[in-house]
Homo-oligomer: A and B are copies of this chain.
Amino acid sequence: MSPELFKAWSTQVLTSVESALDNWVPESAPAGLGQAMRYASLDGGKRLRALLVQAAAEAADAGATPASQEAALRAACAVELIHAYSLVHDDLPCMDNDVLRRGKPTAHVQFGEAQAMLAGDAMQALAFEVLTPDVGEGAGVPPVLQARLCRLLARASGQAGMAGGQAIDLASVGAALAETSLRDMHHRKTGALLRASVQMGAACGGVPTDSIAWQALSDYGHAVGLAFQIVDDVLDATQASETLGKTAGKDADANKPTYVSLLGLEGARQEASDLLHQALSALQRSGLPSQATASLRALAERIVHRDH
């Protein structure tokens, strides 16, 4: 996929995701809660998870119906809400105590700790609300698909996934984490939600859980998730805060283990490159048409070769 085509594709996806989130994250939530939720979830970040959902949905279902398109849009917004809530909680003083995020003051700096925590809590609930439109609220996302999407998202967000990874992260400050433990932590903390994004997109495209395509897309999601984190560590070690839009070098400063501290800069880059190959070969064995997986290929390449 040419850079121009990718740009056009991703712009179109991001426009519909931003517009849907603008619609679904309610300004009207009481006592300033809505403002805090919107501050933390609108117009933010690369929307990588949303792009993965949409790319996987397109890969699985070339002739998408209005219902499957709406399902993919809802899934994309739901994973972005979970991701955004996790950043709000992660930035709190009792966690990473970070003051800068996406180039703006973090939510608790802007709204106070209590409101930020509540906004995160409400964003997690909203993610599941977005996935379960009532009759008449959506273009008819089938309840079977609604349940499947909730199942995938809940498992990726909870103790076995993101929250579990954050608990390991919390316990690992200053500890000499072995490579397998570091991988386990990242597989949960960021990898689980990135893989779930791909799986949720595949589910919207109707891929059955017991198919070869499902396994291959899950493998793609796993590889891309790990690669993302490794590149994150590399950028954190080599880039300035202004480029990243967040405080650089923080993990290393806090004596947290990173892929760079473990594998060295070159070793980490090599590992990311190996994972890109794994992701691309998973797509090849998925049995999906090469044309349909073009966006997934382009995304994997951009994740590994990005500079911020």
Contacts and interface: CB of A to CB of B under 8 A. Distances in A.
B125 A151 contact: no
Interface string A122-150: 10111111011010000000011011101
A115 B154 contact: no
A264 interface: no
Interface stretch (A59-67, A158-166, A237-245, A296-304): A158-166
Nearest to A134: B151
Interface stretch (A87-95, A99-107, A273-281, A286-294): A87-95
* A interface: dominant SS: helix
- How many copies of this chain? 2
A32 interface: yes
A121 interface: yes
A167 B128 contact: no
Interface residues of A, number: 57
A159 B128 contact: no
A115 B150 contact: no
B159 A37 contact: yes
Contact of A30 (B37, B122, B188): B188
Contacts of A86: 121
A168 B31 CA distance: 5
A174 interface: no
B126 A159 contact: yes
A113 interface: yes
Contacts of A146: 143, 147, 150-151
B158 A132 contact: no
For the complex of A and B, the 5 pairs showing the least CB-CB separation, nearest first, are A125-B158, A29-B159, A122-B163, A94-B113, A33-B167
